[in-house]
Structure 1
Amino acid sequence: MRFDNTCVAILGGNSGIGLAAARQFAAEGARLALTGRNPQTLHDAAEELGALAVRADMGDVEQTRAALAEIEQVLGGIDVLFVNAGVGGFAMVPEVTETFWDDIHTVNLRGAFFAIQNALPLMRDGGAIVITGSIGSLAAVPGNVAYAAAKAGLRAMARIVAKELLPRRIRVNLISPGPTETEIFKRDASPEQIAGMREMLSAVVPIGRMGTAEEVASAALFLASREASFINGVDLYVDGGCLELG
């Protein structure tokens, strides 16, 4: 198994892509630590997988720092860090408020950067960092300006971190999902709205459907594994061809 005796910390591991990745890492022998904001889904995921669960909001740097310290204390050094936590939100340019902008950037960019910074002293040399980006960082989608800017900043940050960590042989890569079946797009929506959203999103994917959380998670596992030992600083599009073929 690819992750036997490997400590994997997943920030945002209690739902969606993070939970799908947690299940796959566990199936391949990893010792898991999960963080998340929702105590119930975090508890459920930890029970299912036998993982260490630490409640933390990635938008709060101190909470993340404390969570990482607990992970290191309980499980030892971190071999793989999967920075998956994030928030979304749509608003056209005239409707973007400072609060809206800051809420998205505080988690998706600021929180992600300081999570990585605080994890570095706890990571073993030769490890891997995988970050969840988005094709939104490149696609000019109306209403997506705040989210796209945060994910574009994340992409730029990751490439510099990858260069700086070369002496420690810690690889840093992104996965950028396209339209994906997760709970986020279903939240607070009726079955009819969900069906309509699914149809609309599937229509923009050249492969003809939305991706699954498991498909995106598999890409994260690949980049974290020794199979990707010669891959560093990439942004891997897991998008059914949206950017390449659209």
Structure 2
Amino acid sequence: MNKFENKIAVVTGGNSGMGYGTAKVLKELGATVIITGRRKDAIDLAAQKLGVTAILSDQAKLEDIDSLVSEVSDKFGKVDILYINAGVSGTSTIEKETPVNFDKINNINYRGVFFTLSKFIPYLNDGASVVVLSSVLATTVASTLSVYSASKAAVNSIVKTAALELAARKIRVNSISPGAIDTELFSKMGMDTDSLKGMNDYLISLTPIGRIGKPEEIGQLVAFLSSDEASFITGADHIIDGGSSIL
């Protein structure tokens, strides 16, 4: 099925997890896909496996965003699907939070998202779709995740404003808020095998559907929101969490 044939799709943070799963789905649906990431070896390997294009780019650095937009526009023209996925987490109580960790999270999750969108707007085709990765923690709370939650709440606000500002060009802007998804997040935070299993079991216990989500399921939601079938959907946050937020 080639519903995205002749469509150009950019996926930031596309070398693993939800970004990789989304790039895979969009590629299978016929899109020409560009993935980005901060580690050249990781994005090159992912691009080789997926059969897509890799561009080295750190969403926390404005000069990298400028270079990304310039390279994409020069090589591919205007963009039809922009999935702003790159993000980081980090745990700390409010009392013990540090300016360094605060800035690290917000430079990628908030500032980076804002300027990635801002810089790409002139290079989006009319009728394009923008999807931004948020989180169920944008509207719920968890101890030690105050900065992460706030960064995602900011994303939801940006999405609504962008949807209003870009509506005249028929560009739709939505966010998705995953719950527990099977990614490398916790291993990247340094958890050992036993801790990872314990966390996995705990997350399953909090999910009514009885399992955690798959990265490709995020990709399927991004694909739907970017399709003609979703042409009347904009400015909305879409929760995909197996029902955990209703508990």
TM range (shorter): over 0.9
Count of aligned pairs between the two proteins? 245
Provide the secondary structure at the position in 2 that maps to 1:211: coil
Provide the secondary structure at the position in 1 that maps to 2:144: coil
1:220 and 2:229 matched: no
Partner of 1:94: 95
Shift of residue 236, structure 1, vs aligned partner? 0.3
Distance 2:51 2:71 in 1: 16
Counting only pairs closer than 5 Å after superposition, residues 35-114 of structure 1 correspond to structure 2 as: 35-114=36-115
Residue identity matched to 1:240: G
Shift of residue 218, structure 1, vs aligned partner? 1.1
1:10 and 2:11 matched: yes
Provide the secondary structure at the position in 2 that maps to 1:181: coil
Partners of 2:24 and 2:216 within 8 A in 1: no
1:64-88: CA deviations, max 9, x gaps?
1111110111111111100000000
Shift of residue 62, structure 1, vs aligned partner? 1.1
Shift of residue 50, structure 1, vs aligned partner? 2.7
1:229 and 2:239 matched: no
Shift of residue 39, structure 1, vs aligned partner? 1.1
1:3-36: CA deviations, max 9, x gaps?
1110001111111001111111111110111110
Shift of residue 118, structure 1, vs aligned partner? 0.3
Distance 2:160 2:211 in 1: 30
Shift of residue 38, structure 1, vs aligned partner? 1.5
Residue identity matched to 2:197: A
Partners of 1:126 and 1:170 within 8 A in 2: yes
Residue identity matched to 2:111: R
Residue identity matched to 2:217: E
Question: Could you state the TM-score of these two structures normalised by the residue count of structure 1?
Answer: 0.97
State the Cα RMSD in Å. Answer: 0.9
Partners of 2:26 and 2:219 within 8 A in 1: no
Partners of 1:52 and 1:71 within 8 A in 2: no
1:168-195: CA deviations, max 9, x gaps?
1100001100011101122232211110
Distance 1:103 1:22 in 2: 25
Residue identity matched to 1:107: I
Partner of 1:155: 156
Residue identity matched to 2:194: E
1:117 and 2:118 matched: yes
Partners of 1:133 and 1:175 within 8 A in 2: yes
1:179 and 2:188 matched: no
Distance 1:182 1:98 in 2: 27
Partner of 2:240: 238
Percentage of matched positions with identical amino acids: 35
Partner of 1:197: 199
Residue identity matched to 1:231: I
Counting only pairs closer than 5 Å after superposition, residues 25-40 of structure 1 correspond to structure 2 as: 25-40=26-41
Shift of residue 234, structure 1, vs aligned partner? 0.9
Distance 1:161 1:215 in 2: 25
Partner of 1:137: 138
Residue identity matched to 1:139: T
Which stretch of the first structure deviates more once superposed, 147-156 or 47-56?
Answer: 47-56
Provide the secondary structure at the position in 1 that maps to 2:95: helix
Partners of 2:24 and 2:219 within 8 A in 1: no
Partner of 1:209: 211
